[in-house]
Structure 1
Amino acid sequence: MENIQKNIRHLRNLKSLTQEELAEDLKVPRSRISSYEEGRSAPNIKMLVLLSNYFKIPVDILIKNDLTKSKDTSFIEVGNKRVLFPITVDESNENLIEVVPVKASAGYLSGYDDPEYIEQLQKIKLPFLPTGKHRAFPIKGDSMLPLKEGSYVVGKFIEDRKDITDNKTYVLLTLNDGMVYKRINNSIKERNTLLLISDNPLYQPYEISIDEVLEIWEYTCSINTQEYDKDELKISSIITMFNSLGVELEALKNIS
């Protein structure tokens, strides 16, 4: 438990508490907090649970991870616990974007809340993105045309589910379907559900309970990894594609 002494001090400082104030809140002597932070003793199981409940951080994260590089914004609320949500930066202190590779996308369901798993992902920098935490996810299938399979969607993490906006697209991590990218209609207030809609009309919309959703990432931009065929770029082909999606493009019809 070599991290625990550094973590207690760091979390206390994040809350702008003195050792005396933390000890008072935990109803223990100040000397005990001092002893933990100086590494002269280690908290027992009962004390670890007390610290976990106080800082709202799971015991395993308190023990396993070095939290000294984390900020208060590095944690997100999941139920009544705060989960470490590392924001990685480069040497210029600019945010880096983790890229979930195609081969590892299935494993993301079990590793999404594991800082060690996230730390191992490759990272890129896109300086034009708005503020917030972003991550890049691979697209599978053809349900969200014109994005091709193999493209990547960069999403901004949505912490408050009340911020989900109708008819915008999101990457969702779900308990039963894994990682999906869909257009969403928000029915949380009415039925505690989200309606997931594919832009390709060959796929039927379906509803899922919000309780099945583990993470939500709002579309920010996409990265194509394949070159478009010249026939796909013809105006007539573009019109056909959009018309199949129920979109009328009078201006493009006139050009053709």
Structure 2
Amino acid sequence: MSVFSENIKHLRAQLQVSQQSVADSLKISRGRYAKYEDGSNEPPIDILIKMSKFHRISVDLLLTVNIRKYPLDEILALPDNRIVLPVSVDSKGENKIEIVPHKASMGYLNGYSDPEYIEGLQSLSLPFLRNGKYRAFPVTGDSMPPFNDGTFIVGKYVESFSDLKNGTPYIFITQNEGITYKRFQGASEKSVKVSPDNEFYEPYEISKSQILEMWEFSCSINTREFSLKKNDDLSPKEVYILLKKEIDLLKTELHARKEQ
């Protein structure tokens, strides 16, 4: 029997369910499923993905790791226990870089772990980006200078928090903010400290439990003409932040004078 057949047999035993129950969830016959467990047949990719979703175990782990040797709860907590990050290539053998469109950027929060969603994204290839998994994300808002709306930032997938490098910019996919581009400034046990490149915004912390994905900056693609922003051409939000800082500074000075 293969590692895969032993794995799915073990996982079913852990769930304490019958072959028929698993087969019903996969929408196949019990006889067909039984052949996967005894190793006489191998499932096609669509069934393999369904099994991965059913057990919440990545395809890579199902196929290559003897999961009977490890506690199931630890396997489920692995940061790379993912099913959406295979390094796919185009007809020329170049890495395919999926492009998350501007209009559907928030939809990425719902689709990032869905292989069908990822496969449906448009893609491009950049020959100078190799040895990793890359994805292109849209720039929005005013906290990502010098990138304007219409720019795509291409990031390289980062598996764990220990791989983050101080001072390096990343695309963080979080449950609260969605897609956000920030510079990593350090980490504690439960959070990471980040700072926007826009000096009008203060550094802040993101709970590690809120972070779904991390992508290290690799390059950017600008789809619109770059325009220099004049110092007096501030957005209303920037004006508000600037005034707030000035008011806070005045309050601090007044308080210090009263204590003298």
Q: Which amino acid aligns with 1:129?
A: L
Aligned match of 2:88: 88
Question: Are the structure 2 counterparts of residues 107 and 27 from structure 1 closer, same or farther at C-alpha, using a change threshold of 3 Å?
Answer: closer
Matches within 5 A, 1:133-152: 133-152=133-152
TM-score in terms of structure 2 length = 0.62
Instruction: Tell me if the contact between 1:196 and 1:207 (Cα under 8 Å) persists in the aligned partners.
Output: yes
Deviation at 1:104, TM superposition (A): 0.7
Runs of at least 5 residues in structure 2 that lack an aligned partner in the other structure: 13-18, 24-29, 39-48, 66-74, 232-260
Q: Secondary structure in 2 aligned to 1:222?
A: strand
Deviation at 1:78, TM superposition (A): 5.8
Q: Which amino acid aligns with 2:81?
A: R
Distance 1:212 1:157 in 2: 17
Q: Does 1:177 align with 2:177?
A: yes
Question: Are the structure 2 counterparts of residues 193 and 58 from structure 1 closer, same or farther at C-alpha, using a change threshold of 3 Å?
Answer: farther
Q: Which amino acid aligns with 1:142?
A: D
Distance 1:42 1:93 in 2: 34
Q: Which amino acid aligns with 2:100?
A: V
Instruction: Tell me if the contact between 1:137 and 1:152 (Cα under 8 Å) persists in the aligned partners.
Output: yes
Residue deviations 1:126-176 (CA, integer Å, cap 9, x gap)? 011131000000000121211112211000000122000111000011011
Aligned match of 2:168: 168
Matches within 5 A, 1:191-210: 191-210=189-208
Distance 2:149 2:64 in 1: 37
Aligned match of 2:222: 224
Aligned match of 1:251: none
Q: Which amino acid aligns with 1:125?
A: S
TM-score in terms of structure 1 length = 0.63
Deviation at 1:83, TM superposition (A): 2.3
Matches within 5 A, 1:1-256: 12=2, 15=3, 22=6, 26=10, 40-43=31-34, 59=51, 61=53, 79-80=77-78, 82-84=81-83, 85-188=85-188, 191-229=189-227, 232=228
Q: Secondary structure in 2 aligned to 1:104?
A: coil
Q: Which amino acid aligns with 1:83?
A: R
Instruction: Tell me if the contact between 2:184 and 2:192 (Cα under 8 Å) persists in the aligned partners.
Output: yes
Distance 2:64 2:192 in 1: 30
Residue deviations 1:90-120 (CA, integer Å, cap 9, x gap)? 1233210000000010100010010000000
Distance 1:148 1:71 in 2: 43
Instruction: Tell me if the contact between 2:148 and 2:226 (Cα under 8 Å) persists in the aligned partners.
Output: no
Aligned match of 2:249: none
Q: Which amino acid aligns with 2:174?
A: T
RMSD across aligned C-alpha pairs, in angstroms?
A: 3.8
Q: Secondary structure in 2 aligned to 1:207?
A: strand
- Quote the sequence identity (%): 39
Alignment size in residue pairs: 189
Distance 2:93 2:191 in 1: 38
Q: Which amino acid aligns with 2:120?
A: Q
Deviation at 1:26, TM superposition (A): 4.2
Question: Are the structure 2 counterparts of residues 185 and 145 from structure 1 closer, same or farther at C-alpha, using a change threshold of 3 Å?
Answer: same
Instruction: Tell me if the contact between 1:173 and 1:180 (Cα under 8 Å) persists in the aligned partners.
Output: yes
Distance 1:135 1:101 in 2: 11
Distance 1:78 1:127 in 2: 34
Instruction: Tell me if the contact between 1:58 and 1:82 (Cα under 8 Å) persists in the aligned partners.
Output: no
Question: Are the structure 2 counterparts of residues 27 and 183 from structure 1 closer, same or farther at C-alpha, using a change threshold of 3 Å?
Answer: closer
